[in-house]
């Protein structure tokens, strides 16, 4: 071969080699990046060329798919009782991607999950179209209805758990939205997306049960009481505490920590202090234990953990590192302490379950189109925030709150109910309407099948009438009653 031909051959060989390298780079290195690129419509078109699998509650489908007139997208997602279930389902949109279970379990719902390979192969052989699998949830329809209807026009949220397993039974948030109105690619969907934008109005797309945090107010006194018992500050809930009245915040120029009204808080026992919700008693307990101890005890319940997945990730609830006066305030659920409704449901569930906190979850199982189960969630212990003996002492205190104290609106005839009210300060100098909280559990001879946390962020109620016992307790009661009825 003469020299010019050899050079041409070498040059062509290099071009072929470069093409092979580039082809393999695109297929194996850039594949995921190109597949998920925002301008790649092929994946979305393929996704909506067939019906999605469904999200299931109590054996019933709360999602569906309907045919469209679009040239690109053959099917569109639909939702049954969309506003009620939006905090659970999230949404799947032809234009705006997805959120919640719809996004997190997208591969199962579209049939693209590797665990559905056998099903895809059989469908291909038999000539059937590719089908998506189903996501079966832990939710209780009646409990969800009670939570959503109970919240009504108020801005707020409810989280309910089965303390024995960690199953999420209800997850409601108001105001809400219908995911169906943003599922398509038309002008109406675009207009609704702009109206529902997270930065506008009352943020209806915000899942307040999981992804909003509030000062927990007096409901946090349960954590403070647990810390006192666990660290031996007091061994009995009937032992008088060394709590003066007035009580001044430490390291201040006699700044008093006030109670709400003229209530018997001086040297009150923890049982009486919880019954009347004495700020002075629990503020002093927090100060006596110190910030490091309080922070450690709060973290046992799940505070300061930014990886609480249900599978939807919950916002981090915080008990901060702080100075002495702020720590005293944090011990009564004020200052920089914040909690999501799920977090306070976890606190209540741990107490109701004799000190054992189970990992919260709302996906019971994933199943193939032929109904074979491909993944089953097993209940898992998350932590032991307090001993069984101390948990039972707190149960006695909480049940006394419902029988004799601020939580009487949570009573259910013939059922043992434990609860705690909370009214948390809101706004600069507490000028805004306070948040109304109620956390509770119901107990049967088989244990406690339900623990609930309800927060009312805002309502039409006059400021002086806002209290956890008046606003939030009736909602929690309705949820507990719904679960108890389905337990029978």
Tens of pLDDT, residue by residue over 184-240, are: 999 999 999 998 876 667 899 999 999 999 999 999 999 999 999 999 999 999 999
pLDDT value for 10: 78
Domain count, the chain: 1
Residue 24 lies in a domain: no
- pLDDT the model gives residue 357: 98
pLDDT in tens, 259-311: 988 999 999 999 999 999 999 999 999 999 999 999 999 999 999 999 999 99
32-41, 125-134, 319-328, 465-474: which range is least confident on average?
A: 32-41
Query: Does 465 score more than 70 pLDDT?
Result: no
130 is a domain residue:
no
Residue 466 has pLDDT above 70, yes or no: no
Question: Dihedral of CA 8/10/12/15: which sign?
Answer: negative
Residue 354 in any domain: the answer is yes
Residue 324 included in any domain: yes
* Cβ atoms of 450 and 160 closer than 8 Å: yes
Q: What is the CATH number of the domain that holds 321?
A: 3.40.710.10
Nearest to 337 by CA among 172, 472, 221: 221
Question: Measured between alpha carbons, how far is 417 from 426 in angstroms, rounded to an integer?
Answer: 28
User: Distance between CA 129 and CA 109 in Å, rounded?
Assistant: 14
E strand or H helix at 155: strand 155-161
Residue 218 appears among annotated catalytic residues: yes
Contact by Cβ (8 Å): 472, 421:
yes
Question: For residue 433, is it within any domain?
Answer: yes
pLDDT of 36 reads: 58
SS3 110: helix
Candidate from 50-59, 120-129, 225-234, 430-439 with smallest mean pLDDT? 120-129
Which pLDDT score is estimated for 332?
A: 97
Which position among 65, 93, 218, 286 bears the catalytic label? 218
Q: Of 92-101, 273-282, 407-416, 462-471, which range is least confident?
A: 462-471
Pairing type for strands 134-137 and 55-57 reads parallel
In this prediction, residue 249 carries a pLDDT of: 96
The answer to whether residue 150 scores a pLDDT higher than 90 is: yes
Note whether residue 8 is domain-resident.
no
Q: Which of 49-53, 77-81, 468-472 is modeled with the greatest confidence?
A: 77-81
* Domain that includes residue 412, residue range: 210-369+378-487
Mean pLDDT (the chain) is 90
Assigned domain for 186 exists: no
Q: Is residue 14 part of a domain?
A: no
> What pLDDT digit, counting tens, does each position of 311-362 carry?
999 999 999 999 999 999 999 999 999 999 999 999 999 999 999 999 999 9
Q: Please report, for residues 48, 143, 186, 213, 333, the alpha-carbon distance to residue 344 in angstroms, rounded to integers and kept in the order given.
A: 39, 18, 41, 10, 11
Question: What are the helix (H) ranges across 72-216?
Answer: 82-89, 101-104, 106-110, 117-126, 141-151, 187-195, 208-211
């Amino acid at each position: 071969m003469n020299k010019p031909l050899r050079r041409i051959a070498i040059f062509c060989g290099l071009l072929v080699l470069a093409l092979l390298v580039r082809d393999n780079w695109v297929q194996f290195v850039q594949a995921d990046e190109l597949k998920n690129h925002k301008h790649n419509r092929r994946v979305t078109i393929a996704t909506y060329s067939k019906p999605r699998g469904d999200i299931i509650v109590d054996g019933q489908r709360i999602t569906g798919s309907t045919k469209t007139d679009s040239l690109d997208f053959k099917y569109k997602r639909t939702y049954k009782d969309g506003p009620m279930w939006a905090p659970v389902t999230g949404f799947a949109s032809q234009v705006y991607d997805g959120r919640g279970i719809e996004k997190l379990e997208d591969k199962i719902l579209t049939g693209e999950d590797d665990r559905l390979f056998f099903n895809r192969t059989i469908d291909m052989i038999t000539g059937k179209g590719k089908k998506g699998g189903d996501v079966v949830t832990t939710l209780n329809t009646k409990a969800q209805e009670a939570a959503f209807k109970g919240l009504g026009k108020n801005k707020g949220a409810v989280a309910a758990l089965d303390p024995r397993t960690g199953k999420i039974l209800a997850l409601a948030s108001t105001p809400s939205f219908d995911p169906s109105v943003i599922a398509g690619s038309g002008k109406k969907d675009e207009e609704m997306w702009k109206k529902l934008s997270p930065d506008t109005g009352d943020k209806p797309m915000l899942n307040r049960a999981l992804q909003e945090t509030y000062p927990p107010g007096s409901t946090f006194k349960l954590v403070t009481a647990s810390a006192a018992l666990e660290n031996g500050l007091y061994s009995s809930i009937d032992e008088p505490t060394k709590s003066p009245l007035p009580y001044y915040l430490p390291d201040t120029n006699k700044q008093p920590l006030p109670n709400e009204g003229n209530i018997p808080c001086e040297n009150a026992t923890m049982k009486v202090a919880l019954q009347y919700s004495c700020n002075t008693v629990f503020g002093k307990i927090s100060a006596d234990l110190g910030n490091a101890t309080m922070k450690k005890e709060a973290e046992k319940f799940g505070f300061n953990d930014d990886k609480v997945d249900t599978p939807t990730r919950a916002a981090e609830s915080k008990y901060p590192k702080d100075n002495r006066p702020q720590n005293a305030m944090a011990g009564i659920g004020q200052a920089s302490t914040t909690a999501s409704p799920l977090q306070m449901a976890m606190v209540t569930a741990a107490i109701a379950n004799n000190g054992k906190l189970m990992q919260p979850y709302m996906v019971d199982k994933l199943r193939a189109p032929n109904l074979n189960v491909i993944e089953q969630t097993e209940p898992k212990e998350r932590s032991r925030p307090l001993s069984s003996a101390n948990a039972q002492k707190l149960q006695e205190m909480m049940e006394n709150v419902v029988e004799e104290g601020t939580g009487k609106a949570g009573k259910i005839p013939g059922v043992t109910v434990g609860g705690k009210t909370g009214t948390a300060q809101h706004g600069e100098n507490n000028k805004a309407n306070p948040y109304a909280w109620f956390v509770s559990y119901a107990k049967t001879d088989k244990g406690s099948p339900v623990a609930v946390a309800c927060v009312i962020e805002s309502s039409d109620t006059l400021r002086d009438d806002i209290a956890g016992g008046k606003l939030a307790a009736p909602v929690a009661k309705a949820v507990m009653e719904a679960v108890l009825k389905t337990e029978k």
